[in-house]
Amino acid sequence: MMLKQKTRMAILDMNNNEPNQGLRCIVDIAKSFNEDLDYTVFNVRTKDELPDLSYDIYISSGGPGSPLDKGPWRASYLNLIQLLWDFNKNSIEDKKFVFLICYSFQVVCDYFKLGEMKPRKSTSFGILPVHKTKAGMIDPLLEGLDDPFYAVDSRDWQLIQPRLKVFKEHGASILSLEKIRTHVEYERAIMAVRFSNEFVGTQFHPEADPVGMYTHFSDETIKQKVINNFGETKYNDMMDKMDDPDKIIKTYAHILPRFIKSAIQQTTQQLIS
């Protein structure tokens, strides 16, 4: 018997070759675990690249477009998700750890039929408060974060009307909900789900790096695009919150690093013959 060496992580790039900050942020977090982690990036939607089951951790990124898109990549991607789910169900000791971000979260929540996946009345964009549920209060993923905590939110779709019977059948739980909006009657979207001990996902972007985000949104072209779409007040509010130590800096430092660290600890404890 011997211990596994470096943990292997597959990063599933769901950005469809569109420019983004998210993938760089995920790679930067992976690099911070360099001594313990090897990672490989797979371009899922453009090249139909997918990892096999030999990896220990799978991080699936955000991306553009409708989560109901029937692109040629969809069947093989969801087949992988199902294989990973079945692997964990059938394996007593060896486990696969999966983190789903934004677009990936939407696709998989729809696949598992956890609720209604609907387009929003308007795009949710900015650094916004996220409220913990009772389950979220005690979940290790959100441990150390305030209630509410703050995260980068950028989406045109949302998971609402949870099918609680399906949640119960899967053993899943809702960890957080979007900001409370007293001036409108819209149902609050589900912002994070624990599908199982090893599967978790967020509607927001926990990988958002404050330094990179600040540089990105300081670019004059991007700045004007945000102001044209959302207004100068929204832009200024976002930039003010960017370097607040209690907002996305805290979320960035806690969620994905904590998930990866825990997965590494568990995979390195698993014995192989």
Q: Residue 64 belongs to a domain with what CATH number? A: 3.40.50.880
Does residue 185 lie in a domain region? yes
Please give the mean pLDDT across all residues of the chain: 90
**Number of domains the chain is built from:** 1
- Alpha-carbon gap, residue 264 to 3, rounded angstroms: 12
For the chain, count helices (H), then strands (E): 10, 11
At 210, the pLDDT band (50, 70, 90 cuts) reads: confident
At 182, the pLDDT band (50, 70, 90 cuts) reads: low
- List the beta strands (DSSP E) in the chain: 2-3, 7-13, 37-43, 57-60, 97-101, 116-132, 149-160, 173-178, 190-194, 199-202, 271-272
Does residue 222 lie in a domain region? no
Task: Tell me the percentage of the chain whose pLDDT exceeds 70.
Answer: 95
At 273, the pLDDT band (50, 70, 90 cuts) reads: very low
The pLDDT, as a whole number, for residue 186 is 61
Residue 52, domain extent: 2-119+131-151+158-209+250-272
Does residue 142 lie in a domain region? yes
At 1, the pLDDT band (50, 70, 90 cuts) reads: very low
pTM of the model: 0.91
At 230, the pLDDT band (50, 70, 90 cuts) reads: confident
The phi and psi torsions of 32 (rounded to 5 degrees) equal: -70, -15
